[in-house]
Amino acid sequence: MPTLLLGGDRSPARNTAALDAIEQAMPHAERVVMRNRDHGADVKHPADVAHAIETLASKALDAQ
């Protein structure tokens, strides 16, 4: 199952630590760190989030 771990380079340290732990537990997940973004990017920058999701979905479809 394609899994996207999405965070911002300005997110709080606890969020980054949580993503680190999830990434270790899910080594096949794809992690994307958005530049100049913090917590709440889905609300503040939905086009960037949509692009990351579309990119992952496209890769998953191409792999089939």
User: Which pLDDT value is given to residue 11?
Assistant: 95
Q: Which domain holds residue 17?
A: 4-62
Q: What pTM does this model have?
A: 0.85
> What pLDDT digit, counting tens, does each position of 21-59 carry?
999 999 999 999 999 999 998 999 999 999 999 999 999
What pLDDT does 1 receive? 86
Distance CA 51, CA 4 (A): 12
Q: How many domains does the chain have?
A: 1
Write out the chain in H/E/C secondary structure. CCCEEEEECCCCHHHHHHHHHHHHHCCCCEEEEECCCCCCHHHHCHHHHHHHHHHHHHHHHHCC
Task: Give the model's pLDDT for residue 20.
Answer: 98
